Structure 1
Amino acid sequence: MAEKSEWPLYELFLRGLGKSPGGAAFRVGADVATYEQVHHLALLWGGALLHTPATPPAAVGVLAAKGTIAYAGIVAGLYAGATVVPLHPDFPIARTRQMIAAAGVSALVVDERGRKVAAELRGEGLEVSVLAPGAERVDPGHALSRPRPVEPGGVAYVLYTSGSTGTPKGVPITHANLAHYFHFMDRRYDFTPRDVFSQTFDLTFDCAMFDLFCAWGAGATSVAVPSLAYRNLPRFLAEQGVTVWFSTPSAISMARRTGGLAPDMMPFLRWSLFAGEALKCADATDWQRAAPRSVLENLYGPTELTITITGHRWSERTSPGLCVNGLSPIGFVNDGHDHLLLDGQGQPASTEGELWITGPQTTPGYLDPRNDEGRFVERDGRVWYNTGDRVRRVANGELVYLGRADAQVQVQGWRVELAEIDQAVRGCAGIEDAVTIGAPTGDGSTALVVFYTGTPAQPSDLAVQLRRTLPPGIVPRRYHHLAEFPLNPNRKVDRAGLRDRAAKLLTGPAPSSGSRPG
């Protein structure tokens, strides 16, 4: 194996190809492809991308739902030596156009749905080449003979996080970032070609890269988990032979509601991994009892720190005693990184504060350097990433997540800038101003509640307008009209008071129409 500083991301797929050439690289329902088949398609499509009418693309967008075109398209972009930008065909056109422009995407790999979206984009004047393998012949004469070499500092992929200005923030992740991360994963886990991984995360989420490349590096199979599977999750996982589960903790609540967390219901799982949201002690305990032979881990990591940056290995004997406010530890920071806890004055704190991290998994910064301010900070001659998360160091030295120190919240795994929602709501007809609050629900998740001034509107009408600019997963479901915002003694919007009001709204029935008076 090459030294990690020279290890491109596609090397993981090649490693899986060597271990399991005839094995399934993925399954999405009846859509299945072996490592050899994906490799052949990636060489074919990678060559086609390099022979587009324009110059060879520096960045390739993959505009496709989970399936052969999306998975092979990701590998093809990497084989072509380009930066891969996963895009969701069902995201609003305006948002997709922003992402394409910011990342410098000049070629798209599309499925049937993505082809229609690409046509709309081109109709609006976006100049981009389109490779539609399911709808057109790809010239085999252009196929690559091998993947193109890349530089360690080259960007492997770009993912997007919510932006406070209303524009998504692009996060470039380099091959060097990923080399360190996956070498660390190699040492942490014992994945083999016999494993079958769940693939629960959307391809625009960084944890999807764990699903795919940890599986592919082991020569294992990645299986997409459809929403209907949660009606009887243990049965689906047993039928698919899943041995490695990875999802947000919200899946635990879903499994509980459908009777899927009875003791020993998932004895076939070897690993149970959770990330993207805070993991409750009670949820970890229940899942562990349902999957007693699996090793359960709570992982944590912003996109800017390459998938996951800390991990806690759950122990029924010791972990409950380390929980704070009912939340599991997030563990120790990955090898090779330093971290700081800073108090409200920006001074180092020993036990509790805002978490800052520096090390080889830290992205070089956002695509737009103007977004770096306050997040990527030079201190003591090194660049640190300010996570904005408050943590506490417990007795054994591990960290426990306490909550956000800024105006971000996590909703269904999305890290959402509340200001982005505010700006989107202000763009709705008749709205003067808006304040979005992230409030806890009864099942431990977070719901978005919008308070707005201006003309009262039907919640359904607001939701329809917001779907034009926001991904479906972060469109709020609760809207509350106010004649004016309450103010605190400093004459600022009383967000604490609005949080209390939001909590009360969430305990009552959702309004079916209209908006409730303030």
Structure 2
Amino acid sequence: MQTNILEYLENTAARTPEKIAFSDGNDSITFGELLNRVKRIGSALLHRGAGGGKPVAVLMEKHPTVPAAFWGVVCAGAFYVPLDPAMPPYRMESILETVGAECLIADEKGEKIAAELNWQGKQYRYKELAEETEDEAALAAVRRAQLDTDPIYVVFTSGSTGTPKGVVACHRSVIDYTEALSEALGFDETCVFANQTPLFFDAPLKELMPVIKFGATAYFVPKTLFLFPMKLCDFLNEHRINTVCWVVSALTMISSFGVLEKNPPKYLRTVAFGSEVFPPKQYELWRKALPQATFFNLYGPTEATGMSCYWRADRELEEGEPIPIGHPFRNTGVLLLDGNGHPVGAGETGEIYLRGTCVTLGYYNDPERTAAAFVQNPTQSHYPEIVYRTGDLASYNRHGELVFHTRADAQIKHQGHRIELGEIEAAAGKAEGVRQCCCVYDDEHKRIVLYYTGDAESAALTRTLRAYLPRYMLPAVCRALAALPLTPNGKIDRKGLKRAASEEK
């Protein structure tokens, strides 16, 4: 029985030590080198008293060596807390204070940033740790004591109160996630991934873990390429990328500018997307451009270790039909409950609750918010069973597939009516000349504001919306932008647009 994520790496490094594990097109690291550095870093941390269940922050620029830092921390029996150099200093300080981190691993840029923080912990240089001598006896003692329920990372998500929430995941949840995801999407040793997301979220687990499980390869795509879709596709073709697991915004940037026709990523065979609703027109452009590829829609929150449900695009969607999120991964359970905690009827909308080993340990040092989201299974009270309450609303379609509707907190009350902003976005997506869109509610001025990209004129867009929506759902403002703002992990920055709407007169 596997109980530690590092068993993946150890088995693969023994089998294919010279194969490249991670690369950015310039620098790379093989499986043999990766395991060697993991053990050296783990030994160095133990010698410095930084192992044994303690938090160790990692502040490094995105680079093929970063996973060695992450897993070196795990090798020492500690858990890593990833930080991004682009984070505001206040957020870094808040995270370090929340976890009580006494030390931090940094590259050269990270060292300079950490030196300016209001934090009194110790800094360790990555290169120095990676060059220390491996202590086999000390590492073996740590391994014997580790359990699959021990934490391996804390990643921070946005909190509605403004205070970030640190999600704690353990070996068991990540192992089971890796197995279920790989089984559902058909990953193997021939996969060549292109990583799009920053490394300080849970999202890159979709590439990092299958790489060390199978002995596959992942390329870290330079962030600047996502501003130039033609060059991005050149990168994908140059490195023969055959598998991507990207947020929808990254895919639509390519399709919106006609790059699929001129320079398609011709080696792609698996295209997985998630975290946002894929505009139907853009989805069809991808399907048409890559008929040989298999497409998957993924759904899941950080609190359930990543993705929890998947839909394989093995049928044509009906006119106006949203892309389903399908079915839960193996060993993951979905409960669809009403406001009283009772299962909803066929076709009715309910809130998604997730159960199984995918459910993480809770929010670090935050018992109040943990208790609000990680709750006793409302459908049974006979024994303790913690499930995660997602706040996402969904229903089952006639195919028995789960269909995501909106966030429970994305419902607004406007002119006496309850409105789902996602319904307005879906209608706008049908308009000619609209590439992407995002609808927000301006609480200050009590109005609905629609932001979009594309060639559509505002007046023409409004006429289209009138054909699909009742008057009370029509946006007061339709504002065209050159590009929709994105969060660091590539999703549409809805909070930023909401602030912009309230500041407009």
Per the shorter chain, which TM-score range? 0.7 to 0.9
- Name which of structure 1's ranges 228-237 and 329-338 shifts more when overlaid on structure 2: 228-237
Q: From 342, 355, 363, give the equivalent of 2:360.
A: 363
State the match for 2:202 in structure 1: 206
State the match for 2:388 in structure 1: 385
State the match for 1:296 in structure 2: 295
Query: Given the alignment of the two structures, is residue 42 of structure 1 paired with residue 38 of structure 2, yes or no?
Result: yes
Displacement of 1:58 = 0.9
Query: Given the alignment of the two structures, is residue 394 of structure 1 paired with residue 397 of structure 2, yes or no?
Result: yes
Displacement of 1:106 = 2.2
Displacement of 1:86 = 1.2
Read off the aligned partner of 1:359 and give its amino acid letter: G
Q: Secondary structure at the match of 1:372?
A: helix
Displacement of 1:47 = 1.2
CA contact (8 A) 1:389 1:401 kept: yes
Provide the C-alpha distance between the structure 2 equivalents of 1:269 and 1:397, rounded to a whole number of angstroms.
Answer: 29
Provide the C-alpha distance between the structure 2 equivalents of 1:340 and 1:34, rounded to a whole number of angstroms.
Answer: 42
Read off the aligned partner of 1:199 and give its amino acid letter: N
Provide the C-alpha distance between the structure 2 equivalents of 1:140 and 1:499, rounded to a whole number of angstroms.
Answer: 63
State the match for 1:353 in structure 2: 350
Provide the C-alpha distance between the structure 2 equivalents of 1:451 and 1:328, rounded to a whole number of angstroms.
Answer: 30
State the match for 1:506 in structure 2: 479
- Name which of structure 1's ranges 366-375 and 354-363 shifts more when overlaid on structure 2: 366-375
Displacement of 1:84 = 1.3
Alignment of 1:406-421 (within 5 A): 406=409
Displacement of 1:342 = 2.0
Provide the C-alpha distance between the structure 1 equivalents of 2:482 and 2:184, rounded to a whole number of angstroms.
Answer: 45
Q: Percent identity?
A: 29
Provide the C-alpha distance between the structure 1 equivalents of 2:193 and 2:269, rounded to a whole number of angstroms.
Answer: 10
- Name which of structure 1's ranges 263-272 and 148-157 shifts more when overlaid on structure 2: 263-272
Provide the C-alpha distance between the structure 2 equivalents of 1:116 and 1:498, rounded to a whole number of angstroms.
Answer: 53
Read off the aligned partner of 1:238 and give its amino acid letter: N
Closer, same or farther: CA 403–10 of 1 in aligned 2, 3 Å: same
Q: From 63, 76, 80, give the equivalent of 2:76.
A: 80
Read off the aligned partner of 1:195 and give its amino acid letter: C
Displacement of 1:164 = 1.7
Provide the C-alpha distance between the structure 2 equivalents of 1:137 and 1:174, rounded to a whole number of angstroms.
Answer: 24
Q: Secondary structure at the match of 2:372?
A: coil
Q: Secondary structure at the match of 1:329?
A: coil
Closer, same or farther: CA 407–94 of 1 in aligned 2, 3 Å: farther
Provide the C-alpha distance between the structure 2 equivalents of 1:131 and 1:68, rounded to a whole number of angstroms.
Answer: 18
Closer, same or farther: CA 344–31 of 1 in aligned 2, 3 Å: same
Closer, same or farther: CA 132–11 of 1 in aligned 2, 3 Å: same
Two-structure CA RMSD over aligned residues (Å): 3.3
CA contact (8 A) 2:51 2:73 kept: no
Provide the C-alpha distance between the structure 2 equivalents of 1:514 and 1:152, rounded to a whole number of angstroms.
Answer: 46
Q: From 336, 339, 342, give the equivalent of 1:341.
A: 336
Q: Secondary structure at the match of 1:163?
A: coil
Q: Which runs of 5+ in 2 are unaligned?
A: 413-420, 429-433, 446-450, 453-470, 484-496
State the match for 2:417 in structure 1: none
Displacement of 1:13 = 2.1
Alignment of 1:109-120 (within 5 A): 109-120=105-116
Displacement of 1:362 = 0.7
State the match for 2:126 in structure 1: 133
Query: Given the alignment of the two structures, is residue 372 of structure 1 paired with residue 370 of structure 2, yes or no?
Result: yes
State the match for 1:473 in structure 2: none
CA contact (8 A) 2:37 2:131 kept: no
Displacement of 1:270 = 2.0
Provide the C-alpha distance between the structure 1 equivalents of 2:210 and 2:482, rounded to a whole number of angstroms.
Answer: 43
Displacement of 1:55 = 7.1
State the match for 1:193 in structure 2: 189
Q: Secondary structure at the match of 2:204?
A: helix
Read off the aligned partner of 1:132 and give its amino acid letter: R
Read off the aligned partner of 1:214 and give its amino acid letter: P
Provide the C-alpha distance between the structure 1 equivalents of 2:197 and 2:362, rounded to a whole number of angstroms.
Answer: 24
* Post-superposition CA distance 1:445-481 (Å, at most 9, x none): 537676669xxxxxxxxxxxxxxxxxxxxxx99xxxx
Closer, same or farther: CA 133–206 of 1 in aligned 2, 3 Å: closer
Read off the aligned partner of 2:374 and give its amino acid letter: F
Alignment of 1:422-433 (within 5 A): none
Instruction: Report how many aligned residue pairs link the two structures.
Output: 437
CA contact (8 A) 2:350 2:395 kept: yes
**Under a length normalisation based on structure 2, what TM-score does the superposition of the two structures give?**
0.78
Closer, same or farther: CA 95–335 of 1 in aligned 2, 3 Å: same
CA contact (8 A) 2:237 2:266 kept: no
Q: Secondary structure at the match of 1:262?
A: helix
Provide the C-alpha distance between the structure 1 equivalents of 2:291 and 2:225, rounded to a whole number of angstroms.
Answer: 21
State the match for 1:482 in structure 2: none
Provide the C-alpha distance between the structure 2 equivalents of 1:355 and 1:515, rounded to a whole number of angstroms.
Answer: 31
* Post-superposition CA distance 1:273-331 (Å, at most 9, x none): 1121122333332212222222110010000111110000012xx2413x8x5521001
Provide the C-alpha distance between the structure 2 equivalents of 1:234 and 1:55, rounded to a whole number of angstroms.
Answer: 42
Provide the C-alpha distance between the structure 2 equivalents of 1:305 and 1:105, rounded to a whole number of angstroms.
Answer: 24
Read off the aligned partner of 2:308 and give its amino acid letter: I
Q: Which runs of 5+ in 1 are unaligned?
A: 410-436, 454-475, 478-496
CA contact (8 A) 2:397 2:403 kept: yes
Provide the C-alpha distance between the structure 2 equivalents of 1:445 and 1:15, rounded to a whole number of angstroms.
Answer: 45
Read off the aligned partner of 1:370 and give its amino acid letter: E
CA contact (8 A) 2:29 2:65 kept: no
Provide the C-alpha distance between the structure 2 equivalents of 1:265 and 1:239, rounded to a whole number of angstroms.
Answer: 12
- Name which of structure 1's ranges 371-380 and 37-46 shifts more when overlaid on structure 2: 371-380
Provide the C-alpha distance between the structure 1 equivalents of 2:13 and 2:70, rounded to a whole number of angstroms.
Answer: 15
Closer, same or farther: CA 120–171 of 1 in aligned 2, 3 Å: same
Closer, same or farther: CA 356–509 of 1 in aligned 2, 3 Å: same
Provide the C-alpha distance between the structure 2 equivalents of 1:223 and 1:445, rounded to a whole number of angstroms.
Answer: 30
Q: Secondary structure at the match of 1:335?
A: coil
State the match for 1:274 in structure 2: 273
CA contact (8 A) 1:16 1:220 kept: no
Closer, same or farther: CA 506–143 of 1 in aligned 2, 3 Å: farther
Provide the C-alpha distance between the structure 1 equivalents of 2:472 and 2:386, rounded to a whole number of angstroms.
Answer: 36
CA contact (8 A) 2:312 2:326 kept: yes
Q: From 86, 105, 108, give the equivalent of 2:104.
A: 108
Q: Which structure is richer in relative contact order (CA contacts within 8 A, separation 6 or more)? A: 1
Q: Secondary structure at the match of 2:362?
A: coil
Closer, same or farther: CA 508–16 of 1 in aligned 2, 3 Å: closer
Q: Secondary structure at the match of 1:261?
A: helix
Q: Secondary structure at the match of 2:81?
A: strand
Read off the aligned partner of 2:310 and give its amino acid letter: G
Query: Given the alignment of the two structures, is residue 320 of structure 1 paired with residue 317 of structure 2, yes or no?
Result: yes
Closer, same or farther: CA 40–55 of 1 in aligned 2, 3 Å: closer
Provide the C-alpha distance between the structure 2 equivalents of 1:127 and 1:54, rounded to a whole number of angstroms.
Answer: 15
* Post-superposition CA distance 1:190-226 (Å, at most 9, x none): 4333321111111122121111111221111110112
Closer, same or farther: CA 334–263 of 1 in aligned 2, 3 Å: farther
Provide the C-alpha distance between the structure 1 equivalents of 2:51 and 2:324, rounded to a whole number of angstroms.
Answer: 49
Closer, same or farther: CA 499–371 of 1 in aligned 2, 3 Å: farther
Displacement of 1:30 = 1.0
Alignment of 1:173-192 (within 5 A): 173-192=169-188
Read off the aligned partner of 1:288 and give its amino acid letter: R
Displacement of 1:51 = 2.0
Displacement of 1:392 = 1.6
